[in-house]
Amino acid sequence: MADLVMPRLSDTMEEGTILRWLKHDGDDVHRGDELVEIETDKANMIYQSDLDGTLQTVAAEGDALPVGALIAHIGDGARGAPAGVADDAREKGDAAGTRAPSTRTGAAAEQIVEALVETVGGGGGSGAPRSEGERLKASPLARRIARENGVDLHTLSGSGPGGRIVKADVHGAADARAPEAAPPTPVRADDVTTAKGETTTVALTRMQQTIARRMAESKATIPDFTLLADVDMDECVRLRGELKRISKDEAPTYNDMVVKACALALRDHPRANGSYRDGSLALHSRINIGVAVAGQDALVVPTVFDADAKALGEIARETRSLAARVRDATITPPELGGGTFTVSNLGMYGIASFTAIINPPQAAILSVGSVQQRAVVREDELVARHTMTLTLVCDHRALYGADAAELLARIRELLQAPAALTL
């Protein structure tokens, strides 16, 4: 019998959460079969088995475990194992205090699973008492409620499938003993009403935790500085209008033009396409632009690889596709890695300018504001022009003021004469 451990599904993954098992205890598993869905720090991934045999799960759905931790057994030895071996192993892990807590869904996930069990089971349990030595079968939610209310599960008959004890059984027992001197329910900090009103604690997903950690590390360790520049976007507005008129596909957005301009500018300023590491600067040969996208309760940065070598229309199609996969939660870790420079745009929300946080180990990030008509002076006359503010945030260990100013000036030059973006 072979041990199956939590796999490392991305280069930054430290632990993962079991979202759902796609095979169940006792199922025959073959190489290449989709086995389990795992939430990593970057995306939800389907892990395929690289072993043949019979599955015996150890980790439950909702468990968060470090990379390398045991999650299941696969092998011929599992065929003769009782169906409850994995549950017993988890119960022993709980008693020893070794089971990792679920950080993804907590009680909400347990309630969903419980509801499914009760719906599918339809009260199909036998309701008969267990015989001497028979394994106790109870859902995770039922066990938790029993612990909180001091209910002995061994005294209950389960109404779920196969005599499984479910939430309703525990609630019924707790209600029946309510007139007695039941132990008080512990008061949690979340339930206390204070001057701030009722407080609810929301657990962060694995991805949100990773973003929080990396942004805190960035602000704490990178000595950054910021440059701003206003860009006359009148020519880009005209170009986009012409492309919309002649294009069968959706025309490139202003952000697509910014991505292309950054990629071309980075050719001339390779230090900005590098990473500071331990007293040296690593210069990257490929120019891969990360594009920040608002996902489901998280900021995700998919990558446009070799953006300098791609046509503007190709960049537009790729960014639309990446953004759609981010919002559908189907983006893969390879599409989220390898970035050498990042563009973050809040212009679509009407934000004129903002200062983004560098995505380490990159040397810089460009913040893009909205395109607005503003009054500017041209040839001693006050005229209305489409204007956009760019904010370049740089790691001072990799770029100096003059380097950053030249890079930003080149980006502005390309946007003010955007014909070069179409070549």
DSSP letters spanning 333-358: HHHHS--SEEEEE-GGGT-----PPP
The confidence band for 11, taking pLDDT boundaries of 50, 70 and 90, is low
The confidence band for 81, taking pLDDT boundaries of 50, 70 and 90, is very low
CB-based burial label for 125 (10 Å; 0-12, 13-18, 19+): buried
pLDDT for the residue 183: 53
pLDDT for the residue 100: 39
Peptide bond into 361 cis (omega under 30): yes
Q: Is 368 within 8 Å of 258 (Cβ atoms)? A: yes
Residue 85 has pLDDT above 50, yes or no: no
Please state, in angstroms and rounded to a whole number, the distance separating the CA atoms of residues 264 and 414.
8
Please state, in angstroms and rounded to a whole number, the distance separating the CA atoms of residues 373 and 379.
18
pLDDT for the residue 159: 77
Residue 219 has pLDDT above 80, yes or no: yes
The confidence band for 399, taking pLDDT boundaries of 50, 70 and 90, is very high
Chain-centre distance for alpha carbon 123: 37
CA distances to 2, 18, 48, 403 from 21, rounded to whole Å, are: 18, 7, 11, 51
The confidence band for 420, taking pLDDT boundaries of 50, 70 and 90, is very high
Please state, in angstroms and rounded to a whole number, the distance separating the CA atoms of residues 298 and 317.
23
Residue 131's φ and ψ, nearest 5 degrees, are -80, 170
Chain-centre distance for alpha carbon 197: 30
pLDDT for the residue 152: 84
Residue 118 has pLDDT above 70, yes or no: no
3-state secondary structure at position 193: strand
Better-scored residue on pLDDT, 343 or 182: 343
Flag the least confident range among 36-50, 175-189, 392-406. Answer: 175-189
Better-scored residue on pLDDT, 228 or 168: 228
pLDDT for the residue 46: 86
Please state, in angstroms and rounded to a whole number, the distance separating the CA atoms of residues 323 and 339.
16
pLDDT for the residue 97: 39
Better-scored residue on pLDDT, 182 or 26: 26
User: In the beta sheet, which residues pair with residue 56?
Assistant: 73
User: Which amino acid is located at 174 in the chain?
Assistant: A
The confidence band for 92, taking pLDDT boundaries of 50, 70 and 90, is very low
pLDDT for the residue 157: 79
The count of other CB atoms within 10 Å of the CB of residue 275 is 17
pLDDT tens digit sequence for 308-352: 999 999 999 999 999 999 988 888 888 988 999 999 999 999 999
The confidence band for 40, taking pLDDT boundaries of 50, 70 and 90, is confident
> Region 13-37: what's the mean pLDDT?
88
Known catalytic residues? 396
pLDDT for the residue 362: 95
Please state, in angstroms and rounded to a whole number, the distance separating the CA atoms of residues 304 and 373.
30
Please state, in angstroms and rounded to a whole number, the distance separating the CA atoms of residues 215 and 205.
15
In angstroms and rounded to an integer, the radius of gyration of the C-alpha atoms of the chain is 28
> Region 56-85: what's the mean pLDDT?
74
> Region 376-397: what's the mean pLDDT?
94
The confidence band for 134, taking pLDDT boundaries of 50, 70 and 90, is low
Residue 360 has pLDDT above 60, yes or no: yes
Nearest to 4 by CA among 82, 40, 57: 57
Residue 68 has pLDDT above 50, yes or no: yes
Nearest to 53 by CA among 68, 71, 35, 31: 31
Please state, in angstroms and rounded to a whole number, the distance separating the CA atoms of residues 292 and 342.
7
DSSP secondary structure code for residue 310 in this structure: S
Percent of all residues in the chain with a pLDDT value above 90, rounded to a whole number: 43
Please state, in angstroms and rounded to a whole number, the distance separating the CA atoms of residues 239 and 221.
41
Domains assigned to the chain: 1-104 (2.40.50.100), 123-184 (4.10.320.10), 207-422 (3.30.559.10)
Better-scored residue on pLDDT, 41 or 16: 16
The count of other CB atoms within 10 Å of the CB of residue 368 is 26
Better-scored residue on pLDDT, 370 or 4: 370
The confidence band for 145, taking pLDDT boundaries of 50, 70 and 90, is confident
Residues 6+ apart with CB under 8 A from 341: 262, 266, 272, 273, 287, 288, 289, 290, 362, 363, 364, 365, 366
User: In the beta sheet, which residues pair with residue 17?
Assistant: 39, 64
The count of other CB atoms within 10 Å of the CB of residue 372 is 15
pLDDT for the residue 188: 55
Better-scored residue on pLDDT, 256 or 101: 256
Percent of all residues in the chain with a pLDDT value above 70, rounded to a whole number: 80
Residue 160, both tokens: 């779920």
- Provide the mean pLDDT of the chain: 82
